[in-house]
Amino acid sequence: MEEETPVADGPTPPRPPSHRTRLLASRWVQGMALLLYTLAIFALGLFIQGRLTPAPPGGWQATGPQHDPPASPPATGAPADTTPFVRVAERASPAVVNISTVTTRGGRTTGEAFRPFGNDPFFQDFFDRFFEGGTRGRQQHSLGSGLVIDKSGLILTNNHVIKDADEITVRFANKQEGKGTVVGTDRKTDLAVIRVQAKGELPVAALGNSDSLRVGEWAIAIGNPFGLAGTMTSGIVSALGRVMPTSSSRYSMVDLIQTDAPINPGNSGGPLLDSSGRVIGVNTLIFTESGTSSGVGLAVPVAAVKRVVPSLISEGSYSHSWLGITGVSLNPILSEGLGLEVDQGVLIESVVAGGPAESAGLLGGSRQRMLNGETMAVGGDIIVGLNGIEVRSFDDVVGYLASNTRAGQQVELTVLRGGQRRTFAVTLGERPDE
């Protein structure tokens, strides 16, 4: 006999949720968790970006007096939030030109005379074919850049861009073209001035001040790399006062500006600019193994432009001062090995016969000495001062003479001879041709 199970009084207990209901609830919780996780990651990203992204150059606050005025204000009608780089492009680009040249085959090519982009065999072939010696029939074609320095049609560029050219074509930012004629050249600074008969007044590049540059400031290049007109790249001033030998001369180029702004074939002769769009240098060469930018570009400082160009315009050339010595920079290891009493300065190894140094009474080495497998002339004067400025290396002498003197000017050299300081007045000569 079956008995009925008694039912307690009260509310009926809830039925357990079905499998479908539990699945939907689980997915809803997972979706909300994923949404919250995504929002948290996004917020964290914004926070990190705000902390790590550097302020634009116009927003930097100098810790001391600023030697440069602020960047130019936006042009009339320009958006209020225009960046400094846009303002530089708008200010400087109209004065930058593209230069193409044609040279008849059989003469010395620019690539043979001056290879600013390295000595890698593969790139030499690339360079010869497409930029500084490419052949089309009996002609060689090259590309470069330049900048307008006078509204009447004077263009500044590199000497190696237009060297030996039979035909020079200048293309302006407004697409106007004109034939260029050489006004003056200087191989030692790699500067040249050409003239173009243009229609109307041309926009002129504003020249800045390279003497007050500091490492770390913005550096902006505009030019014609690989034939791509109006290309602008940016970086910083990496170093100042570089002295670099060139394959085209036994004399070094001095006081160069080093930058990591990308500079490539075709940029030669174009401007290096500061953050206000003013010219601080003329791009001239790069160090590279691949033939393209490797972050080490060099520019002739605008101080040299201001010094050399007036003579190029009026005389067609520039006379560089010349001391007439060969020597070596001293350092503690070298001085110890030679038994010298000073560990910096310039040991004169030889003086050029009949040159300024010999005429003034300076002495070169009197005997040979082997040191670290190399033969050196020792016993000569040691230059320790020039016009009252301490001389630590040969670069100090070369740089000072290039930046501050002309042929025919007299300078005062302080030397050590036999442990005694002596002073000589030297009338500088004109640097002979190669």
pLDDT of 407-425, one tens digit each?
A: 999 999 999 998 899 999 9
User: Of 299, 148, 297, 91, which Cα lies nearest the Cα of 213?
Assistant: 299
Average pLDDT rounded to a whole number, residues 350-373: 92
User: Is 51 among the domain residues?
Assistant: no
User: Is 102 among the domain residues?
Assistant: yes
User: Of 164, 321, 168, which Cα lies nearest the Cα of 251?
Assistant: 321
| pLDDT computed for residue 227 by the predictor | 83
The Cα–Cα gap between 42 and 106 comes to: 65
User: Is 146 among the domain residues?
Assistant: yes
* Phi and psi, residue 78, nearest 5°: -75, 150
Q: State how many domains the chain has.
A: 2
Average pLDDT rounded to a whole number, residues 256-261: 94
User: Is 28 among the domain residues?
Assistant: no
| pLDDT computed for residue 200 by the predictor | 84
Q: What is the three-class DSSP state of 346?
A: strand
Strands 154-158 and 191-196: antiparallel
Same domain for 197 and 133? yes
Tokens of 356: 């300024």
pLDDT tier for residue 286 given thresholds of 50, 70 and 90: confident
**pLDDT higher than threshold 60 for residue 78:** no
Domain hosting 341: range is 321-430
Same domain for 289 and 201? yes
| pLDDT computed for residue 148 by the predictor | 96
Same domain for 296 and 392? no
Last residue of a domain, one of 317, 347, 376: 317
- Adjacent-strand bridge partners of 414: 385, 423
Residue 284 one-letter amino acid = T
Last residue of a domain, one of 265, 282, 317: 317
- Under 8 Å CB-to-CB from 45, ≥6 apart: which residues? none
Average pLDDT rounded to a whole number, residues 21-38: 60
The Cα–Cα gap between 205 and 95 comes to: 5
Strands 279-286 and 297-301: antiparallel
Q: What is the three-class DSSP state of 140?
A: strand
Same domain for 370 and 275? no
| Residue 217 DSSP code | S
**pLDDT higher than threshold 90 for residue 41:** no
| Residue 361 DSSP code | T
| pLDDT computed for residue 250 by the predictor | 72
| pLDDT computed for residue 133 by the predictor | 45
Same domain for 276 and 130? yes
| pLDDT computed for residue 51 by the predictor | 45
| pLDDT computed for residue 128 by the predictor | 52
Residues annotated as catalytic are: 160, 190, 268
Residue of higher predicted confidence among 43 and 361: 361
Average pLDDT rounded to a whole number, residues 354-376: 91
Is residue 123 within 8 A of residue 129, CB to CB? The reply is no
- Show the CA angle centred on residue 269, arms to residues 266 and 274, nearest 5°: 105
Same domain for 122 and 270? yes
User: Of 310, 318, 320, which Cα lies nearest the Cα of 400?
Assistant: 320
**pLDDT higher than threshold 60 for residue 4:** no
| CATH number, domain with residue 252 | 2.40.10.120
For the chain, percent of residues with pLDDT exceeding 90: 52
| pLDDT computed for residue 228 by the predictor | 86
- Adjacent-strand bridge partners of 158: 191
Where are the extended beta strands (E) located within 175-316?
177-186, 191-196, 218-223, 231-246, 249-259, 271-273, 279-286, 297-301
**pLDDT tens digits along 47-67:** 544 444 333 333 322 223 334
User: Is 120 among the domain residues?
Assistant: yes
User: Of 304, 308, 261, which Cα lies nearest the Cα of 281?
Assistant: 304
Strands 191-196 and 177-186: antiparallel
Same domain for 167 and 277? yes
Same domain for 328 and 307? no
**pLDDT tens digits along 132-172:** 444 445 677 888 999 999 998 999 999 999 998 999 999 99
Tokens of 92: 């400087």
pLDDT tier for residue 120 given thresholds of 50, 70 and 90: very low
User: Is 145 among the domain residues?
Assistant: yes
Per the document, the length of the chain is: 434
pLDDT tier for residue 214 given thresholds of 50, 70 and 90: very high
pLDDT tier for residue 75 given thresholds of 50, 70 and 90: very low
User: Is 36 among the domain residues?
Assistant: no
| pLDDT computed for residue 42 by the predictor | 61
| Residue 207 DSSP code | B
Residue of higher predicted confidence among 370 and 397: 397
Last residue of a domain, one of 287, 317, 347: 317
User: Is 62 among the domain residues?
Assistant: no
Query: Which range is least confidently modeled, 112-116, 207-211, 313-317, 392-396?
Result: 112-116
Same domain for 331 and 311? no
Q: Could you give the C-alpha distances from 89 to 15, 64, 144, 241, in angstroms and in order?
A: 75, 28, 19, 27
**pLDDT tens digits along 219-253:** 999 998 888 888 999 999 999 989 887 766 677 88
- Show the CA angle centred on residue 306, arms to residues 99 and 164, nearest 5°: 35
Average pLDDT rounded to a whole number, residues 202-221: 94
**Type and span of the H or E element at 426:** strand 420-427
**Type and span of the H or E element at 158:** strand 154-158
User: Can you state the angle between helices 302-315 and 394-404, rounded to 10 degrees?
Assistant: 50
Average pLDDT rounded to a whole number, residues 364-376: 87
| pLDDT computed for residue 142 by the predictor | 82
Same domain for 198 and 157? yes
Same domain for 199 and 310? yes
**pLDDT higher than threshold 70 for residue 44:** no
| CATH number, domain with residue 383 | 2.30.42.10
| pLDDT computed for residue 13 by the predictor | 45
**pLDDT higher than threshold 70 for residue 3:** no
**pLDDT tens digits along 86-99:** 999 999 999 999 99
Query: Which range is least confidently modeled, 20-29, 33-42, 179-188, 356-365?
Result: 20-29
Same domain for 325 and 306? no
Average pLDDT rounded to a whole number, residues 245-271: 85
> Rounded to an integer, what is the distance from CA 413 to the centroid of its chain?
32
**pLDDT tens digits along 303-347:** 999 999 999 999 999 999 999 999 999 999 999 988 898 999 999
- Under 8 Å CB-to-CB from 207, ≥6 apart: which residues? 149, 278, 279, 302, 305, 306
Return the number of other C-beta atoms located less than 10 Å from residue 391's C-beta: 23
